[in-house]
Amino acid sequence: MDYKLITRHFDSSDKLEAHISKKISKLARFSKWINHVEIIIDGKGNRGNTEINILMDHKKINAKATGGDAFKTTTEAFDKVERQVRRFEEKATKHHGRR
């Protein structure tokens, strides 16, 4: 799955990139729906922000999380986006009969 990691105001560590790769691999089961994932992590000051944008064929999904730790905010944002993608998949397969 194609993804892009953007960090602002800090350099990402190998540990953080491994954490993100693990989270991306969980989204792989939705790969027929997802075209591209963009992860933006802003480490400005004591408040960290993570934003995830998922581009699909006819839809864009966005999730944001704010907190102090990049690992925590990344996990929260991935949980939010996974729920949204799962909901989209359920609607698409239920209403249109695609699988």
Give the pLDDT band (50/70/90) at residue 96: low
What average pLDDT is seen over the chain?
91
In 3D, which of 28, 33, 35, 26 has the Cα closest to residue 87? 33
d(CA 52, CA 16): 15
Which CATH number among 3.30.160.100, 1.10.287.1080, 2.40.40.20, 1.10.238.10 corresponds to the domain 3-96? Answer: 3.30.160.100
User: pTM score, two decimals?
Assistant: 0.88
Domain boundary assignment for the chain: 3-96
d(CA 85, CA 52): 12
Residue 39 φ/ψ, nearest 5 degrees: -115, 125
